[in-house]
Amino acid sequence: MRERLQNAPWWVMSLITGLSFASVTAVLNHFLQPASWTAAIVGGLLGGVIFGAIMGPWAVRQRRHAVAASGDLPFQALRIASRAVMRGPVPLDPEIRQATVRLTRLQLKQYSRGRLWLGAFFVGALNVLYGFLALTESPWWWIPFAIFLGFGVLNVVLPRHLRRRIEMLSQEP
C-alpha cells in the first residue's frame, strides 16, 4: 500500500489530503463553534477542497525532489534513507548513507527557505488568534494553540537537528 501511495498521482494525493482535512475541520467546526453538523460538514468540505488542491500537487512535487535527491534508490532503501534523515542509526550501506545525506540536505534547504514566514505565521498570527479565542470563546481553542505552538518550537529546533544529522551521516563508519 505504501509503495502504491508513494507513486500516487497528484489528484489521488489531493483527495487523500483534502478528505483528511475536511473530516478534521468538520468535527472541529461542530465542536468549537455553535454550528450544526450540516454547516460544519459544508465548511469542512470547502476547506478540504482548497487544502487538497494545494497539498496534493505540493506533496507530489516534494516526492519528486526526494526521489531525485536519493539517486533513484529502490523503494525499501528509500524508506530506510528517509527514516534515517531524522532519527535512528546511520545506515551501514554507503549508497543508502549518501542518499540519506542528500535527502537531509534537501530537507534543510527546503525548510530554511520558508522558515521566517512560517515562524511568523504559526507562532505569531495563529497563536495570537487562538489564544484570544481560547480566552474569550471556548477553552477548546487551546488545542490548536498547542499544536501551532509546537510548530513554532519545531521551527527553532529542526534546522539545528538536521545540521547535526548531516554531520553524523557524513562521518565514515
What does the pLDDT look like over 35-89, one tens digit per residue?
Answer: 789 998 999 999 999 999 999 998 898 888 888 888 878 888 888 898 999 998 8
Rounded mean pLDDT, 6-23: 89
User: Residue 5: what pLDDT?
Assistant: 59
| Secondary structure class of 1 (helix, strand, coil) | coil
- Are residues 73 and 85 in contact, defined by beta-carbon separation less than 8 angstroms? no
In 3D space, the residue among 124, 82, 126, 88 whose CA is nearest the CA of residue 106 turns out to be 82
Which DSSP symbol is given to 92? S
Cα(first)–Cα(last) distance of the chain, in Å? 33
The model's pTM is 0.71
- Model pLDDT for residues 82-118, shown as the tens digit of each residue: 899 999 889 999 999 999 999 999 989 888 777 777 7
- Are residues 162 and 108 in contact, defined by beta-carbon separation less than 8 angstroms? yes
